[in-house]
Amino acid sequence: MYAILRPLQRRFQRTLLRRWRSRYLRVLAKWRRSSLDDVTFIAVTGSCGKSTTIALADAILSSAGKCCVGVGPSTTLVPETVLRVASSTRFCIQECHASFQGVIAKNIRLLRPQIGLVTTIGADHYTSYRGLEATAWEKGRLVEGLNSDGIAILNMDDPLVLSMAKRTRARVVTFGVSQQADFRALDVSSVWPNRLSMTVAHGSEVVLVETNFVGEHWTTSVLAAIALGVVCGIDLRTCAEIVRTVEPVFGRYSVHSRSDGASYVLDSYKAPYWTIVAGLDFIKTATAPRKTIVFGTVSDYPGARGSRYRRVAREALEVADRIVFVGPNSGHIDTLRKGELKDRLFGFHTSYEACAFVNSNAIPHELIYVKASVSDHLERVMLSQLDQVVCWRERCGYRHACVTCPKYRKATLPPFGLIAPKQSQM
């Protein structure tokens, strides 16, 4: 009996310690926030594009003063960010997630932001909210928490985001491709291998904005960051010049090139079903001698897994030359592998097998797009070629990119029965 109860006791103790630590941090952060009236606090939420928006905003606002940035889903992140704010800090940019109900309102009461920014509403949290309207209502609590002298920066192209304007006392600033937006994008273009560019108009001022990003869907993040910069007192032209210098966040359409001119585009942080359309649009317009898509775990969708994965496969086959599914769900596409599709559609249970296949018959200047969840660690498709990755664990439990793992350089053999490639031999 003791052997059974002891693990439960330890688990209870760890949970209790985490709760007390969280409460202690919030008390300290609340006291600290009361002494930071000279700091502009900015809260950012949305279903996608938050990290890139914050990276761009950080670069822009840092030109005017010291920035403190908080990014991540941890429930203790907001208190920790507030406690990191120094007396010399001018701006604090905080990501506010909505993984469960009530978390945004709780964090906004602590953060007390002067500016709130909402990017998009999507089905990332389908299991929690079961609908876009419910997701939008929860994320809209961010702008509800703004005072009358605050500013709400909203995406005018997303009706669910724009509807939040009715829920806030703050002044509303909009961005988008809509002609009525305060910051609007014109002549948006992003056809691989070219990068995203656009003309941004604000009032009577118009500037060309060139970026290092791929895919037109990043227009939202670029416009949001520029709108934030101008609201904080930085001129439009300076914002455009700074945006040109910012590189994509790793795993958010980050580009990695081989010596033969081939490129890997990693969209490997998360893969909710609704975001796959943007990836397929990017591949459809891209110009390359061969286009390959590697899919890992697809998340946040209603209905049966099999039908969803097969639908993804059929849509992807219309825009790419080769489609590769990796992981325990790869077997769902076996029924489609008939006739000529046998040479275009593939499934592998392990990332090691997928990496070996994708890199076995490489051709110059090809394009390999990876769409997966962070727990899949399919960035190894690229790392196995460019950085001699040596870890082939399938489920390590580490929910960050491999390159940030403390055990990244520790050799781990591939699954039993598979032979490690030469560059990964221990």
Query: Which tens digits make up the pLDDT trace of 252-273?
Result: 999 999 999 999 999 999 888 8
* Beta bridge pairs of residue 210: 197
Query: CATH 3.40.1190.10 residue ranges in the chain?
Result: 38-243
The length of the chain in residues reads 426
Is 171 a residue whose pLDDT tops 90?
Answer: yes
Is 421 a residue whose pLDDT tops 90?
Answer: no
Instruction: Identify the CA nearest to 293 among candidates 284, 306, 305, 304.
Output: 284
Task: Assess contact for 227 and 219: CB atoms under 8 A.
Answer: no
CATH architecture for the domain at 254-424: Alpha-Beta Complex (3.90)
How far the first Cα of the chain sits from its last, in Å, is: 43
Instruction: Identify the CA nearest to 94 among candidates 153, 44, 138.
Output: 44
The least confident of 184-198, 213-227, 253-267, 290-304 is: 290-304
pLDDT 10s digits, 299-332:
877 778 899 999 999 999 999 999 999 999 999 9
Instruction: Identify the CA nearest to 351 among candidates 374, 388, 315, 380.
Output: 380
- Percent of all residues in the chain with a pLDDT value above 90, rounded to a whole number: 67
Would you list the DSSP string of 85-132?
A: --TTEEEEEEE---SSTTHHHHHHHHH--SEEEE----STTHHHHSSH
pLDDT-based confidence at 129, cuts 50/70/90? low
Max distance between CA atoms of the chain, in angstroms, equals: 76
CATH architecture for the domain at 38-243: 3-Layer(aba) Sandwich (3.40)
pLDDT-based confidence at 274, cuts 50/70/90? confident
State residue 173's pLDDT score: 97
pTM for the full predicted model: 0.89
Better-scored residue on pLDDT, 3 or 146: 146
Average pLDDT over residues 183-210: 96
Q: What is the DSSP letter of 297?
A: -
Q: Mutual orientation of helices 219-231 and 236-243 as an angle, nearest 10°?
A: 140
pLDDT 10s digits, 4-15:
555 655 665 566
Give me the chain's average pLDDT, please: 89
CA–CA separation, 305 and 326 (whole Å): 14
